[in-house]
Amino acid sequence: MNVALHPSAASTARRILASPYARRLAREQELPLSEMRGSGPGGRVVALDIRSYKPALVIPADEPRPVIPALAAAVPLGGLGATANLAALLGLLAQFAAVGKEISIEDALLRAAAKALVSEPDDQIPGAGIVAFETVKGDQLLIGADKVSAMTQRDRRLAAEPVAPAETPAELSLWLAPTRGIRASFLPLRPGRALRLAVSLSEDEADLLLVFSTDTVAEARAAVLLAAIRDNLETGLGLFA
């Protein structure tokens, strides 16, 4: 026997918990909220879930598989890794979201990198103190480390500012893995960049890989920069002081 749901019960069954900002992002990007696994309180879908969503890629059996070319570096490279505990930071971002102030993990990453460059300046590097965030369209020049605000609001700036030309100097380029659990083991430097920071997110940690040109950046300075970025991410509220 079929039992019809009361209209209020049916609407409750279909209701998806999501922040207003997450709903707007999903609508603008035409992404299905029903397929999202919310990481917010009570399974609430938040902006980070929208940004990390990656639909499954299905390749028909009769189509050739894509071939990934071997990675090659045009300059001598160094690489250092670290892990940052994000528990305090994620808790803080959730508190901001609860009072209607959406601050993304990208905002936090940009600020952590910018503060590190301020703490360890090197004016001899082209684009010193400039952080470029990597988008699908290429580097987006976002902030000068000496002018970064407490609330970077990356998404507003992406919407308002044109993508910076590839030849625009920047000291550091920031790459965020598009899917949780994907870890970078090697990345080549982008043209015109002395450093490249790869960030891979898990539940409450971030794997950090800092690649640098050994012709331009001393290994000791790279190690200090990476430690500063990690420490900035772990300070929670202190990151936005």
Which pLDDT does position 144 carry in this prediction?
55
Look at residue 234 and tell me if it is in a domain: yes
pLDDT of residue 192: 83
Cα separations in angstroms, 131 against 27, 39, 142 = 29, 28, 6
Regarding whether 176 and 127 lie in a shared domain, the answer is yes
Same domain, 25 and 127: no
3-state secondary structure of 23: helix
Q: Do 114 and 36 belong to one domain?
A: no
Q: Is residue 71 part of a domain?
A: no
Dihedrals phi, psi of 107, to nearest 5 degrees: -60, -45
Q: What is the DSSP letter of 42?
A: G
Dist CA 235 CA 132 (whole Å): 23
Are residues 115 and 149 both part of a single domain?
yes
Same domain, 204 and 133: yes
Same structural domain, 37 and 88: no
Q: Are residues 85 and 174 in the same domain?
A: yes
Which structural domain, as residue segments, surrounds residue 39?
11-52
Residue 6: the pLDDT is: 46
Structural domain contains residue 5:
no
pLDDT in tens, the chain (241 residues): 444 444 444 444 457 888 877 787 788 777 888 878 777 777 788 777 777 676 654 445 454 444 434 334 445 788 999 999 999 999 988 888 888 887 788 888 888 898 898 888 898 888 888 888 887 666 665 565 545 444 445 555 555 555 566 677 889 999 988 877 777 777 888 888 899 999 999 888 999 999 998 988 999 999 999 999 999 999 888 887 7
Q: pLDDT at position 129, please?
A: 83
Asked if 43 and 86 sit in the same domain, the reply is no
pTM: 0.64
Structural domain includes residue 61: no
Residue 57 within a domain: no
- Residue 37 sits in the same domain as residue 82: no
231 part of a folded domain: yes
CATH number at residue 21: 4.10.320.10
Q: Reduce the DSSP state of residue 233 to 3 states and report it.
A: helix
- For residue 67, the model assigns a pLDDT of 41
pLDDT for 143: 60
User: Quick one: pLDDT at residue 42?
Assistant: 73
Per-residue pLDDT at 197: 95
Token pair for residue 109? 């990453």
Q: Is residue 1 part of a domain?
A: no
46 in any annotated domain = yes
- The CATH number covering residue 124 comes to 3.30.559.10
Considering the domain architecture, whether residues 23 and 92 belong to the same structural domain is answered as: no
User: How far is C-alpha 229 from the chain's CA centre?
Assistant: 14
122, 210: one domain: yes
Task: Please state the domain count of the chain.
Answer: 2
